[in-house]
Amino acid sequence: MPEAVLRFEDKEIALPTEVGSEGEIAVDIGRLRAETGLITLDRGFANTAETRSAVSYIDGEKGILRYRGYPIEQLADRCSFLEVAYLLQYGELPTKAELEAYEESITRHTLLREDMKHLFEAFPHDAHPMQILASATSALATYYPDALDPLDEEAIDISSRRLIAKVPTMVAWSYKYRMGQPYVYPRNDLEYSSRFLHMMFSVPSEEYVPNEVIARALNVLFILHADHGQNCSASAVRLVGSGQANIFSSIAAGIHALSGPLHGGANQAVLEMLEDIVASGGDVSKTVARAKDKNDPFRLMGFGHRVYKNFDPRAQLIKKIAEDVLGQLGRHDPLLDVAMELEQVALSDDYFIERRLYPNVDFYSGIIYRAMGFPTDMFTVLFAIGRLPGWLSQWREQATDPKAMIFRPRQVYVGANARDVTPIDQRG
Q: Could you list the active site residues?
A: 305, 362
Closest contact distance (angstroms) between CB of 186 and ligand CMC is 28
Closest contact distance (angstroms) between CB of 305 and ligand CMC is 5
Closest contact distance (angstroms) between CB of 166 and ligand CMC is 23
DSSP 32-93: HHHHHS-----GGGTT---S---SEEEETTTTEEEETTEEHHHHHHH--HHHHHHHHHHSSP
For ligand CMC, which residue has the nearest CB? Answer: 304
Among residues 198 and 305, whose Cβ is nearest to ligand CMC? 305
Cα 292–359–271 angle (5° rounding)? 85
Task: Please give the C-alpha separations between residue 420 and each of 269, 417, 426, 427, in angstroms, as whole numbers.
Answer: 48, 10, 12, 12
The answer to the question of residue 302 lying near ligand CMC (CB under 6 A) is yes
**Do the Cβ atoms of 134 and 252 come closer than 8 Å?**
yes
For residue 12, give the 3-state DSSP assignment: strand
Query: Which of residues 150, 210, 254, 304 is near ligand CMC by CB under 6 A?
Result: 304
How does DSSP classify residue 309?
S
Closest contact distance (angstroms) between CB of 290 and ligand CMC is 9
**Do the Cβ atoms of 58 and 228 come closer than 8 Å?**
yes
Among residues 107 and 259, whose Cβ is nearest to ligand CMC? 259
- Of 70-78, 130-138, 278-286, 296-304: span binding ligand CMC (CB under 6 A): 296-304
Cα 397–399–404 angle (5° rounding)? 90
Closest contact distance (angstroms) between CB of 319 and ligand CMC is 14
Closest contact distance (angstroms) between CB of 269 and ligand CMC is 7
Among residues 93 and 289, whose Cβ is nearest to ligand CMC? 289
Query: Which of residues 53, 135, 193, 231 is near ligand CMC by CB under 6 A?
Result: 231
The answer to the question of residue 140 lying near ligand CMC (CB under 6 A) is no
The answer to the question of residue 300 lying near ligand CMC (CB under 6 A) is yes
Query: Which of residues 177, 303, 369, 374 is near ligand CMC by CB under 6 A?
Result: 303
Pairing of strands 56-59, 17-19: unpaired
The answer to the question of residue 305 lying near ligand CMC (CB under 6 A) is yes
Among residues 361 and 385, whose Cβ is nearest to ligand CMC? 361
Contact characters 255-294, ligand CMC, x per CB under 6 A: -------xxx-x------------------------x---
Closest contact distance (angstroms) between CB of 379 and ligand CMC is 11
**Position 129: which residue type?**
P
- Of 23-31, 94-102, 110-118, 295-303: span binding ligand CMC (CB under 6 A): 295-303
Q: Which of residues 325-384 bind ligand CMC (CB under 6 A)?
A: 355, 357, 360-362
Q: Which of residues 209-228 bind ligand CMC (CB under 6 A)?
A: none
Among residues 268 and 393, whose Cβ is nearest to ligand CMC? 268
**Do the Cβ atoms of 190 and 210 come closer than 8 Å?**
yes
Q: How many CB atoms lie within 10 A of CB 226?
A: 26
Closest-CA residue to 324 (of 362, 358, 368)? 368
**Do the Cβ atoms of 303 and 356 come closer than 8 Å?**
no
Among residues 291 and 368, whose Cβ is nearest to ligand CMC? 291
Among residues 37 and 44, whose Cβ is nearest to ligand CMC? 44
Closest-CA residue to 287 (of 297, 277, 272)? 277
**CA separation for the pair 360, 311 (Å, rounded):** 8
Among residues 187 and 290, whose Cβ is nearest to ligand CMC? 290
Stated as kind and residue range, the H or E segment containing 169 is helix 153-179
Stated as kind and residue range, the H or E segment containing 282 is none
What distance lies between CA 157 and its chain's CA centroid? 20
**Position 158: which residue type?**
I
- Of 204-212, 301-309, 321-329, 404-412: span binding ligand CMC (CB under 6 A): 301-309
The answer to the question of residue 299 lying near ligand CMC (CB under 6 A) is yes
**Do the Cβ atoms of 233 and 258 come closer than 8 Å?**
yes
Chain residues that interact with ligand CMC, rule: CB under 6 A: 44, 231, 262-264, 266, 291, 299-306, 355, 357, 360-362
